[in-house]
Structure 1
Amino acid sequence: MTRTPPSAPPSATPSAIRATRTPPRRRVPRLLVVVLLVGLAVLAALLARRAAKSALSSAAPNPPDLHSEGPGPVGGADGVVPGGTTVFDGAVPAVANLDADLLDALRRAARAASGDGVVFQVNSGWRSPRYQNQLLREAVSTYGTAAEAARWVATAKTSPHVSGEAVDLGRSAATAWLSEHGAAYGLCRIYQNEPWHYELRTEAIDHGCPRRYADPTEDPRMRQ
């Protein structure tokens, strides 16, 4: 009996072979991965910087309003004081616009001091809000931060100069004289770091001047 040889399995066609192969994985280019990582790092740094800046801004009390109220440079009408001005120069706005009681006390004290050869020269008195804001801008530029500038210059909203209730006197002889005799006229130095800055405290006539603040940042009036 003749055996029929088994038939050979049909050969696979090329198209069938391709259909059974596992498609290769697509690899993400290494350069693209590096770019993505660098981008994420830069974004994280920017977000961290913004958060830190926001925290500093919220921590600083009373951020100053530095907008100017008008065009052009400030001048005498804003309270800029000409050289050699004294408390008797009533034609100078910085003197004329001081609180009447403060100016009266200054002039009475100045007459008494003149007997000792001391002159009350005014370096700064009343100031317009525009002038005060300019001084604050300059202080921020000088000291680097609004917080440090606040130790020396108040905002237009809180400054006693803008309300005419403060005077800055020149020459150490005048401030030395007031340190000894000022309380008798109700004239008191308010800040430890500003020996030139005087305000009227009528209660000082009977009780002496109040304790000085280290600087304006300790003054409750500056937190309004």
Structure 2
Amino acid sequence: MGPADTGAVRAAAPAQNPAWAAPRAGTQPWPPTSRPTSRPSGASRRGRRTTAGLVVGLVAVVVAVGLLLGGVFSRPSAAGTTTGPISAAGPVPAPGPATHLDDGLRATFDEAAADAARDGVELTLTSGWRSAADQQGLVDAALERYGSAEAARRWVLPPEASAHVAGLAIDVGPTEGALWLGERSERYGLCRTYANEVWHFEPVIERGGTCPSMHEDASDGWAGHA
């Protein structure tokens, strides 16, 4: 083969891609020419599944116990009251037996609760009668929580002005139940008295009467009290 022929062959041969060139000594070609052949054994896989199942089961148990304890400590007592912090989003609960409520008020509430149940609505008594000491404790707690007398007085009255201390006021829940009763106030003669307390009702009218306009909040009741 002459020089001309040799040049023709070289021109026809494809250029070699450096990336696929033969590897140098001591190097491994890329991509790798072999893959790992070992796989986890069946026992290993079963072990991992068992461990995962135990973890899931433990989490479920912890959640269930938490829900149970939460229900126990948030459930109203046999006396029909609960305890807890003052909140602008819920009732102002205080310890005190509902048995000290006015008899007519208690009977009316029981009737309303039964009617609500027939409508598929839960209506519970969260706070009823309070002693003067209980009410004063709420005043003190409100002052601490809100930081000023002006703010605290929007949510709680002094003992001498509170209808709860007289056994003539109830706080109800949950919110759905309070709204249900609020829509039927005049049927039962139980009226909301404060616009910022959807849960608070007092027997201020006869059944079938017209509820008076609500106060904006409880601060009006502090007039004449230190």
Instruction: Give the secondary structure class of the aligned counterpart of 1:218.
Output: helix
AA matched with 1:120: L
Q: Give a deviation string over 1:78-102, Cα, whole Å, max 9, x none.
A: xxx972358889xx95311111111
**Which of 164, 167, 170 pairs up with 2:167?**
164
Listed as ranges, the gaps of 5+ residues in structure 2 are 1-72, 82-94
Distance 1:180 1:83, change over 3 A: same
1:216 and 1:199 map into 2 onto residues whose CA distance is 13
**Mapping of residues 140-179 of structure 1, within 5 Å:** 140-179=143-182
1:209 corresponds, among 208, 211, 222, to 211
Given the superposition, is the C-alpha separation of residues 169 and 85 from structure 1 closer, same or farther in structure 2, using an over 3 Å criterion? Answer: farther
Task: Give 2:54's aligned residue.
Answer: none
Assess if the C-alpha contact under 8 Å between 1:86 and 1:120 holds in 2: no
Q: Label 1:125 to 1:101 Cα distance change in 2 as closer, same or farther (>3 A).
A: same
Q: Hey, what does 2:31 align to over in structure 1?
A: none
Could you list the runs of 4 or more consecutive aligned residues of structure 1 that deviate by over 4 angstroms after TM superposition?
85-89
Query: When the two structures are superposed, what TM-score results if normalisation uses the length of structure 2?
Result: 0.56
Please tell me whether the aligned partners of residues 98 and 129 of structure 2 are also in contact (alpha carbons under 8 angstroms).
yes
What is the CA–CA distance in structure 2 between the aligned matches of 1:106 and 1:222, rounded to whole Å?
29
1:94 to 76, 94, 97: 97
Counterparts in 2 of 1:154 and 1:93: CA distance versus 1, 3 Å: closer
Match of 2:87 in 1: none
In 2 relative to 1, CA 120–144 (structure 1 residues): closer, same or farther, beyond 3 Å?
Answer: same
Q: 2:35 maps to what in 1?
A: none
1:151 and 1:215 in contact (8 A); partners too: yes
Structure 2 residue 129 is matched with structure 1 residue 126: yes
Task: Identify if the C-alpha distance between structure 1 residues 93 and 153 changes in structure 2 by more than 3 Å, giving closer, same or farther.
Answer: closer
Contact 1:87/1:106, CA 8 A, preserved across alignment: no
Partner amino acid for 1:211? S
Residues 134, 147 of structure 1: alpha-carbon distance in 2 compared, 3 angstrom cutoff? same
| Consecutive unaligned residues in structure 1, runs of 5 or more | 1-80
C-alpha distance in structure 2 between counterparts of 1:216 and 1:113, whole Å: 27
Q: 1:118-144 deviations in whole A, cap 9, x for unaligned?
A: 222222111111111111111001111
In the other structure, the counterpart of 2:12 is none
Local SS of the residue matching 2:208: helix
Give the Å deviation of 1:218. Answer: 2.4
Kindly indicate whether residue 122 of structure 2 is the aligned counterpart of residue 111 of structure 1.
no
Aligned residues: 140
- Structure 2 counterpart of 1:138, from 136, 141, 144: 141
Task: Give the distance between the partners of 2:224 and 2:110, measured in 1 at CA.
Answer: 31
How far residue 167 of structure 1 moved from its aligned partner, in angstroms, is 0.8
TM-score normalised to the size of structure 1?
A: 0.56
Secondary structure of the 1:173 match is: helix
Q: State which of 181, 186, 198 in structure 1 corresponds to 2:189.
A: 186
Q: Check conservation: 1:118, 1:173, Cα contact below 8 A.
A: yes
